[in-house]
Chains A and B, each alone.
Chain A
């Protein structure tokens, strides 16, 4: 069953077609990876899905709805949630406050002017659960800016998850972190697999081939192949266009 259907999506920046008549389907429950060389238009695609960019033409159906008619800030409440390539958290808030803010927004509007958030026991308990899941039990009270980079990525995941997404758009969750922390994130993704549908954009090929159910390859704004990881590895066109002859060893 299809959760997300993108049809003939097009986005032009001047002479550059960053998204070039792109069509893609993501099924319920799968972990769908999107790979492609730098400048292939991966983040542009995510931005159109999350609503921060408007496509020039094409259709996006999410969970049976026409997504293009839904404003950006309303999309998370439909279950479409993104994480960011560049760490995007609230630096002065503690880890706990970061997640609590997400939970607060998930519970509807925040036009509540009187009760202090820190006295909201229920909110606090739930925030703690998400942080424990992300492996940040001991860092809850630390301001987010003071966390290690890898921990900030974990926090970012906890925040995305606290929104209880149907589809999680992960924009390079492993960008810029060390091998050990990378492994930690892969573990988290494997735990989520099957429970939440994910569209994963990632440069780390080992990680992609380890966790993905299906892989789509994006080159110059077009999908040139969608298949299982092992088929993608063998696909001649993909090797030619994306992996490059001398990088085959990496893919293997």
Chain B
């Protein structure tokens, strides 16, 4: 099935309108809680997208991506906590201002990614996977042991979500639009990035690192910049997640979250722009509605052990749809953008 360009444009417009109008739609359907589910999906889609920059473009299997998301999440949480306590952090007051807290969370996540990436990127292959995982676990236990900020139990945002002038994030609908807009901007930004000179170097890196060195491009600084950009965007998604849940806990950094993000990217289609988003949608919808579905069908045992079905279903999609959901939908076998080939 080849989609004509005209049809594709109409489809994109239709999907766009649906996404923007979604909060009104579910209100009308009297299922307003779906707005919150959708916000969560866009937040995870953003994290999956940032992982895809490493996984799909540079070919780096980072198995600790939840760590950068978690660091961003904690920055927002800790700043809000100090605001609530009216105490200082390293001599600085806490804040609920989104325009401060959210950029700060990106910067801190980026710096953490810089430090971890600088060490991890000296290894390759399975060692890279294991060492990114190890650092993520280190951060996980760091936050678990951080009694000052709730340890195991995590932190509540006692005064509610961040404040942004002219907006009310406490409104679930506005939160939804913010998440959607941020996801859209990030997609656009990463797409530009992937087509730039920098992006070409990243893609070349995945295909043939030896050759890249032989034509005079040292891979390391490019991988490191990609790692930092990816970490900062994951931090942004974490900052949104804390706002969305009004809560943060070490669970945000657990290694299974990193695994979830990898599954979303692979499920949706590695190295594509729609892929990680589709992956996040399907993954989180299955996670949320599979138990309810089984419950509704009277299969109570499966309802409790829904993962028994969830796991094999994911394996089937990955096995039978090479290139993920993206390929299944668009019938394009080649995942990577054809920069010159059109």
Interface pair B214/A110, CB less than 8 Å apart: no
- Please provide the 4 A-B residue pairs with the shortest distance between their CB atoms, ordered closest to farther: A76-B216, A73-B218, A116-B195, A110-B197
**Looking at chain A's contact residues, is the secondary structure mostly helix, strand, loop, or mixed?**
mixed
Q: How far is the CB of A130 from chain B (nearest CB, A)?
A: 13
Cβ of A251 within 8 Å of any chain B Cβ, yes or no, is no
Are A94 and B338 in contact, with the CB atoms below 8 A? Answer: yes
Whether a CB of chain B sits under 8 angstroms from the CB of A26 is: no
Which of B63-71, B142-150, B201-209 contacts the other chain? B201-209
Q: Which A residues are in CB contact (< 8 Å) with B204?
A: 90, 93, 101
- Can you spell out 5 A-B residue pairs with CB atoms less than 8 angstroms apart? A52-B213, A74-B218, A89-B208, A97-B339, A111-B225
Chain A: residues with CB nearer than 8 A to chain B?
Answer: 50, 52, 71-77, 81-82, 84, 88-94, 96-97, 100-102, 104-106, 110-118, 124, 140-143, 159, 163
Given contacts A116-B195, A163-B215, 13 further A-B contacts (CB under 8 A): A73-B219, A81-B215, A88-B214, A90-B204, A90-B208, A97-B339, A101-B204, A104-B197, A105-B201, A116-B192, A116-B196, A117-B195, A117-B197
> Which residues in B have their C-beta under 8 angstroms from that of A140?
340
Question: Is there an interface contact between A90 and B207, defined as CB atoms closer than 8 Å?
Answer: yes
Other-chain contact of A118, B201, B211, B339 (Cβ < 8 Å): B339
User: Within the complex, which residue of B196, B207, B213 is in contact with A72, where a contact is CB–CB below 8 Å?
Assistant: B213
A-contacting residues of B (Cβ < 8 Å)? 192-193, 195-201, 203-204, 207-208, 210-211, 213-219, 221-222, 225, 334, 336, 338-341
* B208 lies within 8 A of A114 (CB): no
In the complex with contacts A91-B207, A112-B197, A116-B196, A106-B340 CB distance below 8 A:
no
**Is the Cβ of B198 less than 8 Å from the Cβ of A112?**
yes
B198: nearest chain-A partner, CB-CB: A113
Number of A-B contacts (CB under 8 A): 118
Instruction: Provide the bound-state CA to CA distance between A141 and B200, in Å.
Output: 16
Contact residues in B for A104 (Cβ distance below 8 Å): 197, 200-201
Chain A positions within 8 Å of B214 at CB level: 50, 52, 72, 76, 81-82, 84, 88
Report chain B residues within 8 Å CB of A74.
216, 218
B211 close to A110 (CB less than 8 A):
no
Contacting residues, chain A, for B339 (C-beta < 8 A)? 93-94, 97, 116-118
Closest-by-CB residue of B relative to A76 is: B216
Q: Determine the residue in chain B with the shortest Cβ distance to A143.
A: B341
* CB pair A90 B340 closer than 8 Å: no
Interface centre among A76, A90, A94 (most CB of B within 10 A): A90
Asked if residues B341 and A102 are in contact (CB atoms below 8 Å), the reply is: no
Q: Which listed residue (B210, B222, B340) contacts A100, Cβ 8 A?
A: B340
- A110-B198, A110-B217, A141-B341 known; A84 vs B211 contact (CB < 8 Å): yes
Q: Given A90-B204, A96-B340, is A111 in contact with B217 using a C-beta cutoff of 8 Å?
A: no
Cα–Cα, bound, A122→B338 (Å): 19
List the A side residues contacting B199 at CB < 8 Å: 113, 117
Q: Which residue of B lies closest to A115 (CB)?
A: B196
CA–CA, A81 to B214, complex, Å?
Answer: 7
